[in-house]
Amino acid sequence: MQNLFASARLTIRGVRSARASTHAPHNLAPRLPHAGRPRRFASSSSGSSSSSSSPPPKHVGPSIPHILLASAVIIAVMPKLLERYAKLSGTSPGSSRTSNSIPGKLEPHTHHPLALAASSFYPDAKTTSNHKLLKIALPASVLANSRGGEDDLAQRLRIRSVYIKEPSLVIERAYTPVYDSLPGTASLAMQGATRAEKDSLDLLVKRYPDGELGRFLHRAVPDASIPQLEVRGPVDTWSFERDSAPQLPDRIVMLVGGTGVTPAYQLLTNLFGHPNRPASPYAASPRVEVLYAMPDLDNALLVPQLHALASRNPDKVGVSLFAERLPSTNSTTAALGQLQTQAAKRRSWLPFFGSGSSLDAKLLLGADGASTTIPVFESRITQDHLRRTLAPTPASRTLVLVCGPDGMVTALAGPKSRDGQSQGALSGTLAHLGLKQQDVFKL
Protein backbone atom coordinates (compact mmCIF):
# COMPACT_ATOMS: atom_id res chain seq x y z
CA MET A 1 0.00 0.00 0.00
CA GLN A 2 2.85 2.45 0.92
CA ASN A 3 4.70 1.60 -2.31
CA LEU A 4 1.59 2.46 -4.33
CA PHE A 5 1.26 5.83 -2.61
CA ALA A 6 5.00 6.60 -3.17
CA SER A 7 4.77 5.72 -6.84
CA ALA A 8 1.69 7.91 -7.22
CA ARG A 9 3.43 10.86 -5.57
CA LEU A 10 6.52 10.60 -7.80
CA THR A 11 4.44 10.31 -10.93
CA ILE A 12 2.22 13.27 -10.04
CA ARG A 13 5.36 15.37 -9.29
CA GLY A 14 6.69 14.59 -12.74
CA VAL A 15 3.42 15.65 -14.33
CA ARG A 16 3.36 18.89 -12.34
CA SER A 17 6.98 19.72 -13.35
CA ALA A 18 6.18 19.16 -16.99
CA ARG A 19 3.09 21.35 -16.73
CA ALA A 20 5.12 24.10 -15.04
CA SER A 21 7.64 24.18 -17.88
CA THR A 22 4.85 24.25 -20.44
CA HIS A 23 3.17 27.26 -18.92
CA ALA A 24 6.38 29.26 -18.25
CA PRO A 25 6.15 32.89 -19.57
CA HIS A 26 7.61 33.41 -23.10
CA ASN A 27 7.76 37.21 -23.21
CA LEU A 28 10.85 37.62 -21.05
CA ALA A 29 13.72 39.61 -22.62
CA PRO A 30 16.58 37.47 -23.97
CA ARG A 31 19.82 37.49 -22.05
CA LEU A 32 22.14 40.21 -23.31
CA PRO A 33 25.66 39.26 -24.39
CA HIS A 34 28.60 40.45 -22.31
CA ALA A 35 29.70 43.98 -23.10
CA GLY A 36 32.37 44.29 -25.79
CA ARG A 37 31.70 40.81 -27.07
CA PRO A 38 30.32 40.67 -30.62
CA ARG A 39 27.04 38.86 -31.10
CA ARG A 40 27.15 35.85 -33.31
CA PHE A 41 24.13 34.70 -35.27
CA ALA A 42 23.38 31.38 -36.79
CA SER A 43 20.69 30.89 -39.34
CA SER A 44 18.42 27.94 -39.70
CA SER A 45 15.96 26.79 -42.26
CA SER A 46 13.13 28.08 -40.13
CA GLY A 47 14.63 31.52 -39.83
CA SER A 48 15.08 31.33 -36.05
CA SER A 49 18.26 32.53 -34.35
CA SER A 50 19.99 31.33 -31.24
CA SER A 51 23.19 31.83 -29.32
CA SER A 52 26.00 29.45 -30.02
CA SER A 53 26.54 29.09 -26.28
CA SER A 54 23.15 27.48 -25.43
CA PRO A 55 20.38 25.76 -27.36
CA PRO A 56 16.96 27.38 -27.57
CA PRO A 57 14.51 26.49 -24.74
CA LYS A 58 12.44 23.46 -25.53
CA HIS A 59 8.79 23.60 -24.46
CA VAL A 60 7.12 20.23 -24.08
CA GLY A 61 3.69 19.24 -22.68
CA PRO A 62 2.92 16.50 -20.13
CA SER A 63 4.19 13.14 -21.12
CA ILE A 64 1.35 10.86 -22.17
CA PRO A 65 2.99 7.83 -20.52
CA HIS A 66 3.27 9.82 -17.28
CA ILE A 67 -0.42 10.72 -17.37
CA LEU A 68 -1.41 7.14 -18.06
CA LEU A 69 0.81 5.86 -15.26
CA ALA A 70 -0.61 8.39 -12.76
CA SER A 71 -4.16 7.46 -13.73
CA ALA A 72 -3.42 3.77 -13.33
CA VAL A 73 -1.95 4.31 -9.87
CA ILE A 74 -4.94 6.41 -8.76
CA ILE A 75 -7.37 3.80 -10.05
CA ALA A 76 -5.47 1.05 -8.23
CA VAL A 77 -5.28 2.98 -4.97
CA MET A 78 -8.80 4.46 -4.84
CA PRO A 79 -10.75 1.25 -3.93
CA LYS A 80 -8.43 0.66 -0.98
CA LEU A 81 -8.86 4.26 0.14
CA LEU A 82 -12.66 3.97 -0.09
CA GLU A 83 -12.60 0.70 1.84
CA ARG A 84 -10.48 2.32 4.52
CA TYR A 85 -12.90 5.27 4.67
CA ALA A 86 -15.90 2.96 5.03
CA LYS A 87 -14.30 1.12 7.96
CA LEU A 88 -13.47 4.36 9.76
CA SER A 89 -16.82 6.10 9.19
CA GLY A 90 -19.17 3.12 9.34
CA THR A 91 -20.76 4.14 6.03
CA SER A 92 -20.46 3.11 2.43
CA PRO A 93 -19.61 6.10 0.18
CA GLY A 94 -20.79 4.27 -2.89
CA SER A 95 -24.14 3.36 -1.42
CA SER A 96 -27.36 4.85 -2.77
CA ARG A 97 -28.47 5.39 0.82
CA THR A 98 -28.34 9.10 1.70
CA SER A 99 -28.62 8.61 5.45
CA ASN A 100 -25.60 8.95 7.72
CA SER A 101 -27.11 6.44 10.15
CA ILE A 102 -25.48 3.19 11.19
CA PRO A 103 -27.24 -0.12 10.48
CA GLY A 104 -27.93 -2.53 13.29
CA LYS A 105 -29.07 0.00 15.90
CA LEU A 106 -32.41 1.14 17.27
CA GLU A 107 -32.71 4.48 19.06
CA PRO A 108 -35.76 6.60 19.99
CA HIS A 109 -34.64 9.86 18.39
CA THR A 110 -32.44 8.77 15.46
CA HIS A 111 -33.44 6.77 12.40
CA HIS A 112 -31.30 3.73 11.62
CA PRO A 113 -31.64 1.33 8.68
CA LEU A 114 -33.08 -2.09 9.45
CA ALA A 115 -33.76 -4.98 7.10
CA LEU A 116 -37.21 -6.11 5.99
CA ALA A 117 -37.08 -9.86 6.62
CA ALA A 118 -40.55 -10.79 5.31
CA SER A 119 -43.70 -9.25 3.84
CA SER A 120 -47.04 -10.92 3.15
CA PHE A 121 -50.65 -9.95 2.61
CA TYR A 122 -52.91 -10.19 5.65
CA PRO A 123 -55.01 -12.08 6.66
CA ASP A 124 -54.51 -14.44 3.70
CA ALA A 125 -50.98 -14.38 2.30
CA LYS A 126 -52.26 -15.77 -1.02
CA THR A 127 -54.90 -13.08 -1.54
CA THR A 128 -54.20 -9.44 -2.35
CA SER A 129 -55.53 -7.05 0.28
CA ASN A 130 -54.98 -3.55 1.67
CA HIS A 131 -53.11 -4.95 4.68
CA LYS A 132 -49.65 -6.45 4.89
CA LEU A 133 -47.81 -8.12 7.74
CA LEU A 134 -44.20 -6.93 7.76
CA LYS A 135 -41.41 -8.56 9.74
CA ILE A 136 -38.51 -6.20 10.39
CA ALA A 137 -35.25 -7.75 11.54
CA LEU A 138 -34.15 -6.40 14.92
CA PRO A 139 -30.45 -5.88 15.72
CA ALA A 140 -28.83 -8.27 18.16
CA SER A 141 -28.30 -5.47 20.67
CA VAL A 142 -32.08 -5.26 21.18
CA LEU A 143 -32.29 -8.75 22.65
CA ALA A 144 -29.56 -7.96 25.17
CA ASN A 145 -31.67 -5.07 26.48
CA SER A 146 -34.90 -7.04 26.87
CA ARG A 147 -36.23 -7.56 30.37
CA GLY A 148 -37.68 -10.99 29.68
CA GLY A 149 -41.22 -10.23 30.85
CA GLU A 150 -40.36 -9.53 34.46
CA ASP A 151 -43.19 -9.41 36.97
CA ASP A 152 -43.80 -5.65 36.88
CA LEU A 153 -47.38 -4.60 36.19
CA ALA A 154 -46.56 -0.92 35.67
CA GLN A 155 -44.04 -1.82 32.96
CA ARG A 156 -46.66 -3.92 31.17
CA LEU A 157 -49.22 -1.12 31.25
CA ARG A 158 -47.81 0.67 28.25
CA ILE A 159 -48.10 0.70 24.48
CA ARG A 160 -44.98 1.29 22.40
CA SER A 161 -44.43 2.17 18.76
CA VAL A 162 -41.72 2.78 16.19
CA TYR A 163 -41.46 5.50 13.56
CA ILE A 164 -40.59 4.63 9.96
CA LYS A 165 -39.33 7.27 7.53
CA GLU A 166 -40.06 7.51 3.82
CA PRO A 167 -36.61 8.45 2.44
CA SER A 168 -37.55 10.42 -0.67
CA LEU A 169 -40.21 12.62 0.96
CA VAL A 170 -38.58 12.73 4.42
CA ILE A 171 -41.86 11.97 6.20
CA GLU A 172 -42.38 9.52 9.04
CA ARG A 173 -45.31 7.67 10.57
CA ALA A 174 -45.78 5.78 13.81
CA TYR A 175 -46.58 2.06 13.71
CA THR A 176 -47.48 -0.06 16.74
CA PRO A 177 -45.93 -3.54 16.67
CA VAL A 178 -48.30 -6.45 17.16
CA TYR A 179 -46.07 -7.75 19.95
CA ASP A 180 -43.70 -5.66 22.04
CA SER A 181 -40.33 -7.21 21.22
CA LEU A 182 -38.61 -3.81 21.48
CA PRO A 183 -35.66 -3.01 23.79
CA GLY A 184 -36.56 -3.12 27.47
CA THR A 185 -39.75 -5.08 26.93
CA ALA A 186 -41.56 -6.56 29.93
CA SER A 187 -44.32 -8.07 27.79
CA LEU A 188 -45.68 -11.48 28.75
CA ALA A 189 -45.91 -12.17 25.01
CA MET A 190 -42.13 -12.69 24.98
CA GLN A 191 -42.26 -15.46 27.58
CA GLY A 192 -41.44 -18.70 25.81
CA ALA A 193 -40.94 -16.89 22.50
CA THR A 194 -38.72 -18.49 19.87
CA ARG A 195 -35.53 -16.86 18.71
CA ALA A 196 -37.21 -15.89 15.43
CA GLU A 197 -40.05 -14.18 17.32
CA LYS A 198 -37.62 -12.23 19.46
CA ASP A 199 -35.54 -11.26 16.43
CA SER A 200 -38.39 -9.61 14.51
CA LEU A 201 -40.75 -6.69 14.80
CA ASP A 202 -44.23 -7.52 13.43
CA LEU A 203 -46.18 -4.62 11.92
CA LEU A 204 -49.63 -4.57 10.33
CA VAL A 205 -49.58 -1.87 7.65
CA LYS A 206 -52.59 -0.65 5.72
CA ARG A 207 -52.20 0.84 2.26
CA TYR A 208 -54.28 3.98 1.76
CA PRO A 209 -54.82 5.55 -1.70
CA ASP A 210 -53.24 8.81 -0.52
CA GLY A 211 -50.82 7.32 2.02
CA GLU A 212 -47.27 7.68 0.75
CA LEU A 213 -45.61 5.70 3.52
CA GLY A 214 -48.09 2.82 3.42
CA ARG A 215 -47.61 2.46 -0.33
CA PHE A 216 -43.84 2.64 0.10
CA LEU A 217 -43.90 -0.19 2.68
CA HIS A 218 -46.22 -2.32 0.54
CA ARG A 219 -43.77 -1.98 -2.38
CA ALA A 220 -40.69 -2.82 -0.30
CA VAL A 221 -39.05 -6.10 -1.32
CA PRO A 222 -37.89 -8.28 1.61
CA ASP A 223 -34.15 -8.86 1.84
CA ALA A 224 -32.69 -9.74 5.23
CA SER A 225 -29.19 -8.78 4.05
CA ILE A 226 -30.00 -5.17 3.09
CA PRO A 227 -31.00 -2.58 5.73
CA GLN A 228 -33.54 -0.57 3.74
CA LEU A 229 -36.12 0.78 6.24
CA GLU A 230 -35.23 3.85 8.30
CA VAL A 231 -36.63 3.14 11.79
CA ARG A 232 -36.44 4.88 15.15
CA GLY A 233 -37.85 3.79 18.50
CA PRO A 234 -39.14 2.61 20.81
CA VAL A 235 -41.47 5.49 21.64
CA ASP A 236 -44.15 5.21 24.33
CA THR A 237 -47.54 5.82 22.70
CA TRP A 238 -49.11 5.45 26.13
CA SER A 239 -47.57 4.66 29.49
CA PHE A 240 -49.58 4.33 32.67
CA GLU A 241 -46.73 5.72 34.76
CA ARG A 242 -46.38 8.78 32.50
CA ASP A 243 -49.90 9.51 31.27
CA SER A 244 -52.38 8.38 33.91
CA ALA A 245 -53.34 9.03 37.52
CA PRO A 246 -51.31 7.21 40.19
CA GLN A 247 -54.10 4.81 41.13
CA LEU A 248 -54.06 1.59 39.11
CA PRO A 249 -57.32 1.16 37.18
CA ASP A 250 -59.61 -1.74 37.90
CA ARG A 251 -60.71 -1.74 34.28
CA ILE A 252 -59.36 -0.45 30.95
CA VAL A 253 -61.84 0.12 28.12
CA MET A 254 -60.29 0.51 24.68
CA LEU A 255 -62.33 2.13 21.90
CA VAL A 256 -60.53 1.30 18.67
CA GLY A 257 -61.14 1.41 14.94
CA GLY A 258 -59.31 0.08 11.88
CA THR A 259 -55.61 -0.58 12.44
CA GLY A 260 -56.06 1.09 15.85
CA VAL A 261 -56.75 -2.42 17.12
CA THR A 262 -53.01 -3.16 17.17
CA PRO A 263 -52.33 -0.98 20.26
CA ALA A 264 -55.19 -2.76 22.06
CA TYR A 265 -53.82 -6.14 21.04
CA GLN A 266 -50.28 -5.23 22.14
CA LEU A 267 -51.58 -4.16 25.56
CA LEU A 268 -53.55 -7.39 25.92
CA THR A 269 -50.51 -9.53 25.10
CA ASN A 270 -48.35 -7.45 27.45
CA LEU A 271 -50.71 -8.34 30.29
CA PHE A 272 -51.92 -11.84 29.36
CA GLY A 273 -49.27 -13.28 27.05
CA HIS A 274 -49.26 -14.73 23.55
CA PRO A 275 -52.58 -16.32 22.52
CA ASN A 276 -50.83 -19.52 21.42
CA ARG A 277 -48.69 -20.04 24.53
CA PRO A 278 -49.47 -20.54 28.21
CA ALA A 279 -48.71 -17.57 30.43
CA SER A 280 -49.02 -16.53 34.05
CA PRO A 281 -50.76 -13.13 34.12
CA TYR A 282 -50.14 -10.80 37.00
CA ALA A 283 -52.90 -11.31 39.56
CA ALA A 284 -53.60 -7.58 39.86
CA SER A 285 -53.94 -7.01 36.11
CA PRO A 286 -56.99 -4.88 35.32
CA ARG A 287 -59.82 -6.20 33.21
CA VAL A 288 -59.51 -5.04 29.60
CA GLU A 289 -62.56 -4.58 27.38
CA VAL A 290 -62.06 -3.87 23.67
CA LEU A 291 -64.80 -2.24 21.57
CA TYR A 292 -63.57 -2.62 18.00
CA ALA A 293 -65.24 -0.69 15.14
CA MET A 294 -64.80 -1.51 11.44
CA PRO A 295 -66.60 -1.05 8.10
CA ASP A 296 -67.26 -4.81 7.75
CA LEU A 297 -65.90 -8.13 8.92
CA ASP A 298 -63.68 -8.47 5.84
CA ASN A 299 -61.60 -5.57 7.22
CA ALA A 300 -61.31 -6.99 10.74
CA LEU A 301 -57.80 -7.56 12.07
CA LEU A 302 -56.53 -10.02 14.70
CA VAL A 303 -60.02 -11.30 15.55
CA PRO A 304 -59.03 -15.00 16.02
CA GLN A 305 -56.21 -13.91 18.34
CA LEU A 306 -58.55 -11.65 20.30
CA HIS A 307 -61.00 -14.52 20.69
CA ALA A 308 -58.22 -16.81 21.93
CA LEU A 309 -57.19 -14.29 24.59
CA ALA A 310 -60.80 -13.79 25.69
CA SER A 311 -61.36 -17.56 25.87
CA ARG A 312 -58.28 -18.11 27.98
CA ASN A 313 -58.97 -15.14 30.30
CA PRO A 314 -62.78 -14.85 30.45
CA ASP A 315 -62.72 -12.87 33.70
CA LYS A 316 -60.09 -10.43 32.45
CA VAL A 317 -60.69 -9.93 28.71
CA GLY A 318 -63.83 -8.88 26.83
CA VAL A 319 -64.14 -8.15 23.10
CA SER A 320 -67.05 -6.69 21.09
CA LEU A 321 -67.11 -5.94 17.35
CA PHE A 322 -69.04 -3.12 15.68
CA ALA A 323 -69.48 -3.43 11.91
CA GLU A 324 -71.35 -0.90 9.81
CA ARG A 325 -72.28 -3.63 7.32
CA LEU A 326 -72.91 -7.32 7.93
CA PRO A 327 -73.64 -10.03 5.37
CA SER A 328 -77.21 -11.25 5.12
CA THR A 329 -76.04 -14.87 5.34
CA ASN A 330 -73.41 -16.61 7.42
CA SER A 331 -70.65 -16.25 4.85
CA THR A 332 -67.06 -16.99 5.82
CA THR A 333 -64.20 -14.52 5.57
CA ALA A 334 -60.46 -14.98 5.93
CA ALA A 335 -60.37 -12.30 8.63
CA LEU A 336 -62.22 -14.61 11.04
CA GLY A 337 -59.95 -17.61 10.53
CA GLN A 338 -61.59 -20.72 11.97
CA LEU A 339 -64.18 -18.79 13.96
CA GLN A 340 -67.80 -19.62 13.27
CA THR A 341 -70.68 -17.16 13.11
CA GLN A 342 -74.15 -17.72 14.43
CA ALA A 343 -77.16 -15.48 14.80
CA ALA A 344 -77.56 -13.91 18.20
CA LYS A 345 -80.82 -14.50 20.05
CA ARG A 346 -83.14 -11.54 20.30
CA ARG A 347 -85.04 -10.82 23.46
CA SER A 348 -88.06 -9.37 21.68
CA TRP A 349 -89.26 -8.34 18.25
CA LEU A 350 -90.88 -5.13 19.48
CA PRO A 351 -88.67 -2.18 18.49
CA PHE A 352 -90.26 0.16 21.05
CA PHE A 353 -89.08 -2.13 23.85
CA GLY A 354 -85.48 -1.63 22.77
CA SER A 355 -84.82 -4.99 21.17
CA GLY A 356 -84.15 -5.36 17.50
CA SER A 357 -82.10 -2.17 17.79
CA SER A 358 -78.36 -1.57 17.44
CA LEU A 359 -78.00 -2.31 21.15
CA ASP A 360 -78.52 -5.99 20.42
CA ALA A 361 -75.76 -8.10 18.93
CA LYS A 362 -76.66 -9.51 15.55
CA LEU A 363 -73.99 -12.23 15.38
CA LEU A 364 -71.86 -14.23 17.75
CA LEU A 365 -68.35 -15.44 16.88
CA GLY A 366 -67.16 -18.64 18.49
CA ALA A 367 -64.92 -21.65 18.09
CA ASP A 368 -65.46 -25.36 18.56
CA GLY A 369 -65.01 -26.36 22.17
CA ALA A 370 -64.94 -22.77 23.45
CA SER A 371 -67.73 -21.30 25.53
CA THR A 372 -66.59 -17.71 24.98
CA THR A 373 -68.18 -15.80 22.11
CA ILE A 374 -67.58 -12.36 20.64
CA PRO A 375 -70.75 -10.32 20.01
CA VAL A 376 -70.97 -8.48 16.69
CA PHE A 377 -73.18 -5.37 16.41
CA GLU A 378 -74.35 -3.91 13.13
CA SER A 379 -73.65 -0.37 14.21
CA ARG A 380 -71.01 2.15 15.08
CA ILE A 381 -69.99 2.57 18.71
CA THR A 382 -72.81 4.75 20.00
CA GLN A 383 -73.47 6.66 23.20
CA ASP A 384 -75.91 3.96 24.31
CA HIS A 385 -73.27 1.26 23.87
CA LEU A 386 -70.78 3.30 25.87
CA ARG A 387 -73.28 4.08 28.61
CA ARG A 388 -73.93 0.37 29.04
CA THR A 389 -70.22 -0.56 28.90
CA LEU A 390 -69.02 2.21 31.18
CA ALA A 391 -71.70 1.79 33.82
CA PRO A 392 -69.83 2.49 37.06
CA THR A 393 -69.25 -0.20 39.62
CA PRO A 394 -68.75 0.59 43.31
CA ALA A 395 -65.23 1.54 44.40
CA SER A 396 -63.67 0.96 40.99
CA ARG A 397 -61.82 3.11 38.52
CA THR A 398 -62.14 2.85 34.73
CA LEU A 399 -59.55 4.17 32.29
CA VAL A 400 -60.60 4.72 28.65
CA LEU A 401 -58.09 4.63 25.77
CA VAL A 402 -59.21 5.78 22.31
CA CYS A 403 -57.37 4.89 19.09
CA GLY A 404 -58.66 5.05 15.54
CA PRO A 405 -59.27 7.35 12.57
CA ASP A 406 -59.31 11.07 13.39
CA GLY A 407 -63.06 11.33 12.83
CA MET A 408 -63.77 8.52 15.26
CA VAL A 409 -61.46 9.93 17.96
CA THR A 410 -63.00 13.40 17.58
CA ALA A 411 -66.56 12.09 17.85
CA LEU A 412 -65.84 10.00 20.94
CA ALA A 413 -63.35 12.16 22.86
CA GLY A 414 -62.71 15.37 20.95
CA PRO A 415 -59.72 16.23 18.75
CA LYS A 416 -56.14 16.20 19.92
CA SER A 417 -54.25 19.49 19.91
CA ARG A 418 -52.95 20.97 16.67
CA ASP A 419 -49.43 19.79 17.32
CA GLY A 420 -50.73 16.22 17.46
CA GLN A 421 -48.84 15.60 20.69
CA SER A 422 -50.84 17.00 23.60
CA GLN A 423 -54.26 15.58 24.40
CA GLY A 424 -56.53 18.56 23.93
CA ALA A 425 -59.71 19.10 25.91
CA LEU A 426 -62.05 16.17 26.45
CA SER A 427 -65.30 16.53 24.51
CA GLY A 428 -67.58 14.38 22.38
CA THR A 429 -69.52 11.35 23.58
CA LEU A 430 -67.29 10.53 26.53
CA ALA A 431 -67.58 14.06 27.91
CA HIS A 432 -71.38 13.88 27.58
CA LEU A 433 -71.31 10.70 29.65
CA GLY A 434 -69.52 12.53 32.46
CA LEU A 435 -66.02 11.09 32.18
CA LYS A 436 -63.14 13.20 33.44
CA GLN A 437 -60.08 14.33 31.52
CA GLN A 438 -57.69 12.22 33.61
CA ASP A 439 -59.69 9.06 32.86
CA VAL A 440 -59.44 9.33 29.05
CA PHE A 441 -56.36 9.15 26.85
CA LYS A 442 -56.27 9.58 23.05
CA LEU A 443 -53.57 7.52 21.39
State what percent of residues in the chain have pLDDT above 90: 56
Q: pLDDT band for position 48 (50/70/90)?
A: very low
329 annotated among ligand-binding-site residues: no
Which is higher by pLDDT, 284 or 188?
188
Contacts 24+ apart (CB under 8 A), 63-71: 63/14, 63/15, 63/18, 66/11, 66/14, 66/15, 66/18, 67/15, 69/11, 70/8, 70/11, 70/12, 70/15
At the top level of CATH, which class does the domain 244-442 belong to? alpha beta
Q: Is the pLDDT of residue 13 over 80?
A: no
> What is the spatial distance between Cα 182 and Cα 149, in angstroms, rounded to a whole number?
12
- Average pLDDT along the chain: 81
Quote the distance between the C-alpha of residue 308 and its chain's center: 27
How does residue 96 score in pLDDT terms, banded at 50, 70 and 90?
Answer: very low
The yes/no answer on whether domain 112-238 falls in CATH 2.40.30.10 is yes
Is 306 annotated among the ligand-binding residues? no
> How would you class 107 by CB atoms within 10 Å of its CB: exposed for 0-12, middle for 13-18, buried for 19 or more?
middle
The residue among 198, 65, 159 whose CA lies nearest residue 401 is 159
Asked whether the domain spanning 244-442 has the same topology as the one spanning 112-238, the reply is no
Q: Per residue in 352-372, pLDDT tens? A: 444 456 689 999 999 988 899
Give domain limits for the chain.
1-20+63-88, 112-238, 244-442
Give the count of beta carbons closer than 10 Å to the beta carbon of residue 190: 23
d(CA 316, CA 272): 9
- Which has more confidence, 223 or 282? 223
Question: Is 410 labelled as part of a ligand binding site?
Answer: no
- pLDDT tens sequence across 201-249: 999 999 998 899 999 999 999 999 999 999 999 999 999 999 987 788 9
Q: What is the pLDDT of residue 168?
A: 84
